[in-house]
Amino acid sequence: MGRTYFGTDGIRGRANGKKLNAAVAMKVGQAAGSHFVRGDHRHRVVIGKDTRLSGYMMENALVAGFTSVGMDVIMTGPLPTPAVALLTREMRADLGVMISASHNKFGDNGIKLFGPDGFKLSDADEEAIERAMGQEQVLAEGDAIGRARRIEDARGRYIHAVKRALPSDCRLDHLKIVVDCANGAAYNVTPTAIWELGAEVIAMGVSPNGTNINDGVGSTALDAIKARVVEEGADIGIALDGDADRLIVIDEKGEEVDGDQIMALIGSRWHAKGLLKGGGVVATVMSNLGLERFLHGEGLELVRTKVGDRYVLEAMKAGGYNVGGEQSGHMILLDHATTGDGTIAAMQVLAAMVRTGKPASELLHLFDPVPQLLKNVRYEAGDPLDAQAVKDVIAAAENELDGKGRLVIRKSGTEPLIRVMAEGDDEGQVERVVDTICDAVREVA
């Protein structure tokens, strides 16, 4: 069925826009609450949020929806997405909700739902909830109406889980670490956890005011943390996004380290210790060919999925893998978390620095990325990829790159854009291939 609300990562849109407002949030609460009310026990839902101004509005509307169908609500306040997933499972809740638009600016917001196992909902569950949003729900009466309360120890629970992801005999003493929390959900927990493990922490992006989330800071705006790492003479920089499910590392030289290098490090080290499951790592079609070649050299495979951490997770669960992620920084480590967790991934990197004594620039440069180029072409209507002229150009490009590179062409799931990505050993060839395809798309668009 077609979806009006749910996309590849829950519901996301402009706060107070047509797709996402208080009325819609209340419907989500009623529909999701009704869907997960099973049996005669007292049902409960955990609700967390990031630091957006609209989070207050969305939270209150969701609470009204859930309590009206008989669900008790536990509110955590600002907390990373992976923390909400963790608490949903640990507190034996029937459902978890994260109010966040991740790396988007403050004007957007979103609703992510987790099942009682702490994993994001299946397509079937989301479709059932979307259908129910168009129907009247049976409301609770009398003392069956849900209660709502805030808990004060949510941050402490998550900090404990983060610290537990580091080997018990591994401390971060003598490391100077810049931690950029994007003025988002991790502004309190991540610097605290790293400091408690012994590091000297220089925190930035930790003064949220409701409108400055992801504004010039965080994993999608790296200039500030790059400069700070060099200025402070820090050993490493840790950059998270607004809901802290994404990690980008900055080495001591101020250079960016993306998710591909992080996956290479974690996958190879876990393999050497006998901890890696499935015989490889799961990533998306956007991960660099250099990562694939590196893993093959280690006797490991790279399983590729569509773009989106939910597809990575599905492949991990289906194939028994415990390390996966995206080039953009989503890191899923199933031994420690049920969803992407930037802080826990950072702990694996920091542990490797301590164990090896190597600087970040050496430790996190395990392969030379193959030249890669991504360009977007906007279109007005129809599907340019159906045009025979475009198909012919794509076929010719695939022939040219055969054995020497890769070509990935896909439609954006959120905008009318065609994304054209190519990579190969010859940078000039890659650029020519991408430009030729983009020109062909523009002609029919």
Residue positions counted in the chain: 445
Maximum pairwise Cα distance, the chain: 71
Distance CA 319, CA 317 (A): 6
Please identify every residue annotated as catalytic.
102
- 253 CB-near residues (< 8 Å, 6+ apart): 230, 361
Is residue 395 classed exposed, middle or buried when 0-12, 13-18 and 19+ CB atoms within 10 A define those classes?
exposed
Q: Of 273, 93, 242, 90, nearest to 167 (Cα)?
A: 273
Beta strands in 275-402 (DSSP E): 280-284, 301-305, 323-325, 331-333, 372-378
Q: Return the closest-CA partner of residue 169 out of 190, 205, 197.
A: 197
Q: Which residues pair with 323 in a beta bridge?
A: 333
Is residue 120 within 8 A of residue 313, CB to CB? The reply is yes
Cα distances (Å, whole numbers) of residue 411 to 205, 220, 359, 384, 415: 33, 22, 39, 10, 8
